[in-house]
Amino acid sequence: MRDEGRSEMSQEEFHLLRDMVYDHCGILIRDEMKFVMERRLWPRLEALGLEDFHAYHRHLRYDAQRKNELETAVEALTTNETYFFREPQQLKAFSEEILPELAARGGRQRRIRLWSAGCSSGEEAYTIAILALESGLFAGWDVEVYGTDISRRVLAAARHADYGPSSLRAAPPDLVARHFEPPAGRKRRVSAAVRSMVSFGHLNLLDEEMAQLVPRMDAIFCRNVLIYFDVPARRRVLKVFYEKLVEGGYLLLGHSESLITLSADFELAHLRHDLVYRRPRSGVRP
């Protein structure tokens, strides 16, 4: 039911706002999501003392704070659902097949770089760091895990590294005991050793210029992010990933995501525990 006194978002306002969000971050809000968009953005109008979506659109276009407000609007519209040790079968392939291969390959430099792109509140990045530690393959190595996201709010939570039961619902208890500080209330904080392996940064995956600053990676996790983009936006992000992966580097997507019709640049690696994508070595066409 519509709240009293609220004026409905017109179809035109919906299209204007939707296009702004899409141009900023590649997230496609379908027509049937108009109601959800309206519901999630109303608190912003209230916070800013604006009467209707026409005024909100003007604010996003012309106000001195428009850049910050667009980021806040995108935060209100995105899904940040995540938890530790999500998609265990893929993580098994990562631990038992990908990490040993990367360790064998990177012997001389003794450095490995892993990226959680669209890391939300950090559970995925810390999971990757814990798995690298647990593998026992990288003692004395420089293990660098990067977590990036478009939302500054989730990044603040990631840096804080304090998690409740919902984030830990799929985490094996022995790993929680080893890699988290003792419980403080209902929350557990990631251990200092794991925290020191992970750095978080703000990055819009559609900002190719900023993405240039990301170093070359041995593996990229981008799970449950591309599903929110349309095809051209997915292609742009995949180009960035291709450039940022070392030759033979791995790309791990969410299980409902595939590169079919999106990119022919990657090869499908048939690992024992999962199918994942890989940047081919030069001269080898997928």
Ligand X SMILES: C[S@@+](CC[C@H](N)C(=O)[O-])C[C@H]1O[C@@H](n2cnc3c(N)ncnc32)[C@H](O)[C@@H]1O
In the complex, which residues of this chain contact ligand X (CB under 6 A)?
Answer: 25-27, 78-82, 86, 118-120, 124, 149-151, 154, 203-206, 223-225, 228, 254
> Per the residue annotation, which of 149, 218, 265, 274 is the catalytic one?
149
Q: What is the DSSP letter of 142?
A: E
Q: What is the closest distance, in whole angstroms, from the C-beta atom of residue 43 to ligand X in the complex?
A: 18
Q: What is the closest distance, in whole angstroms, from the C-beta atom of residue 18 to ligand X in the complex?
A: 14
Count of beta carbons in the 10 Å neighbourhood of residue 254: 17
> Per the residue annotation, which of 6, 40, 159, 236 is the catalytic one?
40
Which CB atom, from 103 or from 180, has the smaller least distance to ligand X?
A: 180
Q: Which residues of 120-132 are buried (b: 16+ CB within 10 A; e: fewer)?
A: bbbbbbbbbbbbb
Q: What is the closest distance, in whole angstroms, from the C-beta atom of residue 202 to ligand X in the complex?
A: 9
186 is catalytic: no
Which CB atom, from 254 or from 286, has the smaller least distance to ligand X?
A: 254
126 contacts: CB under 8 Å, gap ≥ 6: 84, 145, 161, 179, 190, 194, 195, 198
Which CB atom, from 106 or from 122, has the smaller least distance to ligand X?
A: 122
Which CB atom, from 78 or from 135, has the smaller least distance to ligand X?
A: 78
Is residue 34 within 8 A of residue 245, CB to CB? The reply is no
Helix (H), strand (E), coil (C) string for 40-85 = HHHHHHHHHCCCCHHHHHHHHHHCCCHHHHHHHHHHHHCCCCCCCC
Q: What is the closest distance, in whole angstroms, from the C-beta atom of residue 222 to ligand X in the complex?
A: 7
**Cα–Cα dist 252/245, whole Å:** 12
40 is catalytic: yes
Q: Cite the active site residues.
A: 40, 149
